[in-house]
Structures are given as C-alpha cells and as structure tokens.
Amino acid sequence: MYNPRSLRAEEFISDEEVRETLEYAEKNKDNTELIDRILEKAKQRKGLDHREASVLLACSDKKKNREIIELACQIKKDFYGNRIVMFAPLYLSNYCVNGCVYCPYHLKNKHIRRKKLSMDEIRGEVTALQDMGHKRLAIESGEDPEMNPIEYILESIRTIYSVKHKNGAIRRVNVNIAATTVENYRKLADAGIGTYILFQETYNRESYEKLHPTGPKHNYAYHTEAMDRAMEGGIDDVGLGVLFGLELYRYEFAALLMHAEHLEAVHGVGPHTISVPRIKKADDIDPAVFDNGISDDIFEKIVACIRIAVPYTGMIISTRETAECRERILRCGISQISGGSKTSVGGYCEPEPEDEKSEQFDVSDTRTLDEVVNWLMKMDCIPSFCTACYREGRTGDRFMELCKNQQIQNCCHPNALLTLKEYLEDYASEDTKITGEKLIEKELLNITSEKVRETTRNRLSEISRGGRDFRF
C-alpha cells in the first residue's frame, strides 16, 4: 500500500506506514546503538528517512537528546550560516467558505469583521510594508471562489509587484492560498510567485475530516495532493507545514517527512520550506480545546529533527511564537522568520478597533521589524532581505543542487550583507544602523573569496551612494 512514488495521497501518506513508523520509533527509543548509527548517518549531512528521524524524535535519553540538538545546530550553521531571511504576511481577504474548526475565518463565524482589500488598499498596505523595509511577502487569503477567485489573487500579485515607493520594492511574493487546480497553479507560476505554501494542518485523514467538516477543504486527498498539482503547473518551490496542536505530533512529523520524500521521489526536488506553526488563540477559537498542544521542549526537538532529516529545506517560524521561543529555536534549525507582522486584513495601514477585528490569530511577537532586526544582529545573526536566488532562476532543483553542494553560501552570505546594508540605509533606527554597520564589517571577513569580498565592498559603498539591488 505505501508507495512514495504514487500520486495518491492514501499511498504516499499511508496511515499504515505512519503507524508502523511510530511503533518502530517507540520500540527503539532507548536503543542507543541504533540511535548512534542514525546520528552517524546524519553527520554526513545527507538527511534521514522518516523512520530514522522518528527514532530520534522518540529518543528519551537526555544525553542523546542534547547530541541531537547540537547536531541540528551544527547542520544549520553549515548550510545556512548565521543568515536569517526576513518576510511578512499580507492578508488579502478573510472571506472563507470552509468550516475549519481551529480557524476564526470559518464560515459560521458571524462576528469577525469580514474584509477584502481593494487594489488601492493593497497599494497602501504594500507601501507601509516597504516603509518598514520588507522585500519579501507571503500573501494569505481565505478560500471563497466568489469573493477571492484566482483572478483576484493574480491581480493582487501584479499590484504588489508594481508598487515602488521611495527605494522600496517587493521582490518576492510567496502565496499561501487554498489547494487549487493545475490550471490555477500555472497562472500563479506565470505571475512570478516565489514559493507556493500550503499547510497540511494534519496528515491524519480521520482527524482532518473532522477538523474540516464542511467546504472544499474537507477533501483530504485533494488537499494532500495539491503540491503535486502545483509542481505540474510549473511552480518550482513549494512549502509544507502542519498546524501543531491538532493531532499527535509524532504522527505529523513522520507524515510530513513522508510528504517530503514523496516530492523528492516524484519531482526530483523536496519542499523548499517547512513551516512549524502552533495553534493560537483567535477570535472564537480557544487552543485549549485541542488536546495535542506541545511544550517548548518538544517544539525545539521537532525543529531539530526536521533540520537533521532535511538539511536542504528552509524552515520558517512566524510571530505566532514569542521572542523567547523564537530565540531558542532559531539556532537549531530556523532559516526564515517574519517580523512586524499583522494578521488582520488591512492591518499595516490602520490598527483595528477592539470590537472590529479581522485578524486570523493573536501575534505573540509584537515587536517592530526594526526591533527584530536589531535583536537578530545582537545575537550575531545576519537579517537577510535577499531574494536573489529566485530572481536569478535558482529555484527548485537548481536551488537544491547548489544547496546540496554547499555552494549557496558563496553567494548567499554577500547577498545577505548587501540587502542588510540597503535596510540600514533606508529604514533602520540609529542604534540598529550602528549595530548593523559593525556586523557588516565583521562579516565581510567571512567571505572567503578575495574577489567576491572586494566586489561586495565596492557594492556596499555604492549602496551608501544611493545604488540599490545588487546581487550575486
């Protein structure tokens, strides 16, 4: 029944295989000989399969668990250095015909304020996001074929790319909208999107159907097979994720990796990113109602085990998490974070009155983008606003090849410095600017090629004189 090459959800995410994996992991969670063998394999930095990674996740030995976290930190460093890519979500519309029981946009919620941005309002939001310093957005929308048809999404993307305010520009638009047809994915690819992101929510079919009782999202197979349709439609980069808290985390973890293995087996390229959202309080949603919430310790371990299992896949954390939690898990696997986010429709231009909220969930990290950038740099991370790979056509398998050969660092590091410099020139507060200039000077020395270092220096000077948008 289990077949990673199959295009049928029930075969590439076989429930039987997930359950056998969990039994195998439980049986071997104290098998230090096997755990050592898996760790040895992981040290070759070629990843692990879902069974091996599940054993690490189940391992209960404190010393081995420390080794797992340390290895994840090391792999993160080797593949991503100290760069953290920055982005912000942009909510276009919260009209939705689905009945997702964890999401306040569900159709039966009559007191949330429903809103859909007009093109003028999108221009306003994008201008506000550019004025913060953002270059990369993830657009979000509820599923409503009448209110938010694909034409609306496409027009929104065109509008976003067209806004050029002062030195600002949105250079990459990622898209998080409901599962759709190959034809629509082709239209999104033609519109020049970056990553197509779709969270599975849960891989457990039975729970999935209960959690999505009504609306088109109820169809488990259609949702689970969406990434195959997206790739068939010409989208090179897809982003996976589950909403932790809905189902047993070990089930989700094994199935998530099986999904990644499936994409690699069928399309020759795994997911570009994996997101790890946890369920949050929202308008009429109480997260305590769901009994599978996970502690910060387990959350950290999940992130570490994903990092070890799929070293080439970026990992994203949003402002659903607090600053403390983000700080903790950044080191063991995260490569992209959002900053200064609003989850309301139109929230970047106007704060919403208390009794007229349209937001999707409560944000835990409420700092401004400048504060997040400053905080990252003080932890010796380089906030990167880089979008070069996608714009140079380094997507899908071409990106993965570079990444697997660890070549990506030869251009990512200087690109991160160049885009940080743009941020410092155009948007940073005084303190952030001082901290950033020092960081850039220090990090220039970490460019190994003398030629690239010299070119980077020259381009940094050009940015000080008003030049923009340089990239390797």
Q: What is d(CA 153, CA 194) in angstroms, rounded to the nearest whole number?
A: 14
For ligand SAM, the closer of residues 136 and 459 by Cβ is 136
For ligand SAM, the closer of residues 362 and 392 by Cβ is 362
Per CB under 6 A, 129 contacts ligand SAM = no
Q: What is d(CA 456, CA 386) in angstroms, rounded to the nearest whole number?
A: 14
Return the residues of window 237-276 that contact ligand SAM according to CB under 6 A.
Answer: 243
Per CB under 6 A, 217 contacts ligand SAM = yes
For ligand SAM, the closer of residues 3 and 292 by Cβ is 292
List the one residue from 282, 309, 345, 389 that touches ligand SAM (CB under 6 A).
282
Total residues interacting with ligand SAM, rule: CB under 6 A: 21
Residue type, 430: E
**Chain centroid offset of residue 116 CA:** 24
Phi, psi of 146 (to 5 degrees): -85, -45
- Segment near ligand SAM (CB under 6 A); pick from 6-14, 172-180, 185-193, 449-457: 172-180
For ligand SAM, the closer of residues 282 and 389 by Cβ is 282
CB of 369 to ligand SAM, least distance (A): 20
Q: What is d(CA 313, CA 241) in angstroms, rounded to the nearest whole number?
A: 12
Per CB under 6 A, 347 contacts ligand SAM = no
CB of 144 to ligand SAM, least distance (A): 9
Per CB under 6 A, 359 contacts ligand SAM = no
- Segment near ligand SAM (CB under 6 A); pick from 174-182, 202-210, 346-354, 382-390: 174-182
442: left (phi over 0), alpha (psi -120 to 50) or beta: alpha
The C-alpha torsion from 76 through 77 and 82 to 85, rounded to 10°, is -30
List the one residue from 133, 277, 339, 414 that touches ligand SAM (CB under 6 A).
277
List the one residue from 199, 222, 290, 472 that touches ligand SAM (CB under 6 A).
199
The C-alpha torsion from 452 through 453 and 459 to 461, rounded to 10°, is -170
For ligand SAM, the closer of residues 59 and 179 by Cβ is 179
Nearest partner of 210 among 285, 97, 102, judged by Cα? 102
List the one residue from 208, 251, 361, 385 that touches ligand SAM (CB under 6 A).
361
Q: What is d(CA 180, CA 415) in angstroms, rounded to the nearest whole number?
A: 34
Per CB under 6 A, 225 contacts ligand SAM = no
Residue-by-residue DSSP string for 370-383: HHHHHHHHHTT-EE
| Sign, Cα dihedral of 359, 361, 364, 369 | negative
Per CB under 6 A, 227 contacts ligand SAM = no
Q: What is d(CA 374, CA 202) in angstroms, rounded to the nearest whole number?
A: 35
| Sign, Cα dihedral of 156, 162, 167, 173 | positive
Token pair listed for 352 = 């919403």
For ligand SAM, the closer of residues 46 and 281 by Cβ is 281
3-state secondary structure of 195: strand
CB of 320 to ligand SAM, least distance (A): 6
List the one residue from 13, 71, 103, 117 that touches ligand SAM (CB under 6 A).
103
Per CB under 6 A, 178 contacts ligand SAM = yes
For ligand SAM, the closer of residues 263 and 282 by Cβ is 282
Q: What is d(CA 296, CA 337) in angstroms, rounded to the nearest whole number?
A: 17
Q: What is d(CA 117, CA 157) in angstroms, rounded to the nearest whole number?
A: 12
Per CB under 6 A, 320 contacts ligand SAM = yes
Count other C-beta atoms under 10 Å from residue 451's C-beta.
8
Q: What is d(CA 327, CA 324) in angstroms, rounded to the nearest whole number?
A: 5
List the one residue from 4, 81, 142, 333 that touches ligand SAM (CB under 6 A).
142
CB of 373 to ligand SAM, least distance (A): 24
- Segment near ligand SAM (CB under 6 A); pick from 9-17, 124-132, 280-288, 289-297: 280-288
Per CB under 6 A, 290 contacts ligand SAM = no
Per CB under 6 A, 459 contacts ligand SAM = no
Angle between helices 15-27 and 50-58 (to 10 degrees): 40
- Site residues, ligand SAM (CB under 6 A): 102-103, 140, 142-143, 176-178, 198-199, 201, 217, 243, 277, 279-280, 282, 285, 320, 360-361
